[in-house]
């Protein structure tokens, strides 16, 4: 088998491990989302406070290792990596999630916006796991991100809580050598799939 065949096989094996891991699951609430239609603008917040990365039990453990490895190779490289790692949240992950979510629910007149004041509901997107994946040309593996989605009302009561495991992310044509590019696609897909789940649950107006 040539290098191209090996690469395709590795991609297939990596992707197949995510094949049945993306379904949005209801953990709490009645499963309906008509409450969103009554308040079409939903505040959205993001929680990155407690999640594991790949084989590492915590994000901090992973970050510390990457900083050390980077700085050992080149002075300041690990520190620049750290800045990019955390900066990618607001720069690409959150906008990707919101863009695909809003595009999917546009026909229902529902949207999510950060920092919305005086609205009835807030969606908290909690990241619980990130597999960064890799792309070294001859072999690659998509990213995968797991989430919890918590909808609360203005009193702080949970009205719906859902989870989604191992949402894969990669770019067409294999142009996802940068870690944040792969992971951002996981957030984009998650936003689209959560909105699609809600779309099906909302009764026709």
Residue spans per domain, the chain: 3-201
Q: Would you place residue 81 in the very low, low, confident or very high pLDDT band (cuts 50, 70, 90)?
A: very high
Rounded to the nearest integer, the mean pLDDT of the chain is 86
Q: How far apart are CA 108 and CA 38, in angstroms?
A: 11
E strand or H helix at 162? strand 158-169
Q: Which pLDDT band holds residue 19 (cuts at 50, 70, 90)? A: very low
Residue range 75-82: mean pLDDT, rounded: 96
CATH class of 3-201: alpha beta
Contact in structure between 131 and 121 (CB atoms under 8 Å):
no
Mean pLDDT of 104-120: 93
End-to-end Cα, the chain, rounded Å: 56
| The model's pTM | 0.86
């Amino acid at each position: 088998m040539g290098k191209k065949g090996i690469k395709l096989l590795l991609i297939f094996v990596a992707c197949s491990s995510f094949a049945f891991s993306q379904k949005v699951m209801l953990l709490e609430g009645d499963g309906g989302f008509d409450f969103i239609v009554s308040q079409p603008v939903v505040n959205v917040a993001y929680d990155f406070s407690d999640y594991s990365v790949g084989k590492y039990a915590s994000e901090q453990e992973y970050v510390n290792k990457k900083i050390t490895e980077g700085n050992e190779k080149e002075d300041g490289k690990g520190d620049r990596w750290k800045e990019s790692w955390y900066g990618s949240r607001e720069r690409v992950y959150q906008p990707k999630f919101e863009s695909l979510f809003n595009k999917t629910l546009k026909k229902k007149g529902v949207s999510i916006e950060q920092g919305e004041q005086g609205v009835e509901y807030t969606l908290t997107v909690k990241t619980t796991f990130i597999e960064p994946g890799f792309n070294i040309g001859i072999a690659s593996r998509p990213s995968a991100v797991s989430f919890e989605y918590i909808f609360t009302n203005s009193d702080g009561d949970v009205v719906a809580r859902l989870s989604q495991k191992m949402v894969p992310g990669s770019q067409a044509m294999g142009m996802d050598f940068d870690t944040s590019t792969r992971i951002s696609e996981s957030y984009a897909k998650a936003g689209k799939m959560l909105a699609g789940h809600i779309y099906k649950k909302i009764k026709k107006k």
